[in-house]
Amino acid sequence: MEPILRGVNLVKRYGRVTALDHCNFELYPGEILAVIGDNGAGKSSLIKAVSGATIPDEGEVYLEGKRVHFQSPLDARHAGIETVYQTLAMSPALSIADNMFMGRELRKPGFMGSVLRRLDRPEMERIAREKLTELGLMTIQNINQAVETLSGGQRQGVAVARAAAFGSKVIILDEPTAALGVKESRRVLELILDVKARGIPIVLISHNMPHVFEVADRIHIHRLGKRLCVINPKDHSMSDAVALMTGAKEPEEQHAA
């Protein structure tokens, strides 16, 4: 099977630090790929390189077999890749609906929209409410409340809902459960499985081993700026994964999965 998203020989240097060192990456259709690694292993750099947030110094990125050159996150988004960043990338003073539709606002039909450029607020609010309801976040009563008045978990929920609503090819989640309580984490994990059931592959970056082992089909272990190995969560235990990740154990064979 051909990978839907593939990175080959990616290199990214920040001054004298090499964050990505000839790293490869593959995501197959319909799967959940977890990316785990120690702090500073270069997970975020990898994700930024394939999502257009940074431009790799060397290497190629392929989407559905075609070489792509993302110059900005907007390019990646147009190609159907949605990313939920650890920082959530939301404007605190703007409303939930405004944030969900940032950069892809809907305009009113007809004269009001094409000439006066008026936003179609009711429609955007309707869709935003619908997406949040799907995620079980409807305790947010007011879709027009500013994002900064939400709790950390609710903000995370909005960010995930935004990605799930618009990602058509790939969804990348950077630490989606890090700021969440047990119940809210569960919601997000359910949502991840939901999205997978719709056939959209997901890249999940997480430190939470139980969560990773619960939902992932394959686990990409990142160490010292490159892929150490890919394991199948069914064949390995969490302690194996942690041992590999920290270098306490060598991978038995390359590409175990």
Partner 1 sequence: MSEGSANSQDYETVVKAGTAEKVAEFGGGPVSALKRIQHMLHKAPSMVPLIVLVMSIVIFGILLGSKFFSPFALTLILQQVAIVGIVGAAQSLVILTAGIDLSVGAIMVLSSVVMGQFAFRYGIPVEVAVGCGLLCGVLCGYINGWLVAVMKLPPFIVTLGMWQIVLATNFLYSANETIRSQDIDSQAPLLHFFGRTLSIGADEAGRGGATFTYGVIFMVCLVLLLAYVLRETAWGRHVYAVGDDPEAAELSGVQIRKVLISVYVLSGLICAFAGWVLIGRIGSVSPTSGQLSNIESITAVVIGGISLFGGRGSILGMLFGALIVGVFTLGLRLLGADAQWTYLLIGVLIIAAVAVDQWIRKVSV
Contact pick of 23, 32, 137, 173 for partner 1 (by CB under 8 A):
137
Closest to partner 1 by CB, 3 or 135: 135
Say whether residue 3 binds partner 1 (CB under 8 A): no
Helix (H, G, I), strand (E, B) or coil at 153: helix
Which one of 9-17, 54-62, 84-92, 193-201 is the stretch in contact with partner 1 (CB under 8 A)?
84-92
Q: Tell me the β-bridge partners of 171.
A: 82, 202
- Give me the least distance between CB of 226 and partner 1, in Å please: 25
How many Cα atoms are found within 13 Å in the side-chain-facing hemisphere of 148? 4
Contact pick of 153, 167, 201, 225 for partner 1 (by CB under 8 A):
153
By the 8 A CB rule, do 60 and 70 touch?
A: no
Closest to partner 1 by CB, 40 or 133: 133
Q: Using alpha carbons only, how large is the chain's radius of gyration in Å?
A: 19
Q: Is 225 exposed, middle or buried (0-12, 13-18, 19+ CB in 10 A)?
A: buried
Say whether residue 167 binds partner 1 (CB under 8 A): no
Which one of 23-31, 55-63, 89-97, 222-230 is the stretch in contact with partner 1 (CB under 8 A)?
89-97
By the 8 A CB rule, do 50 and 62 touch?
A: no
- Give me the least distance between CB of 86 and partner 1, in Å please: 11
Longest dimension (CA), the chain: 65
- Give me the least distance between CB of 104 and partner 1, in Å please: 7
Instruction: Count residues binding partner 1 (CB under 8 A).
Output: 56
Query: How many whole angstroms from its chain centre is CA 151?
Result: 21
Closest to partner 1 by CB, 133 or 255: 133
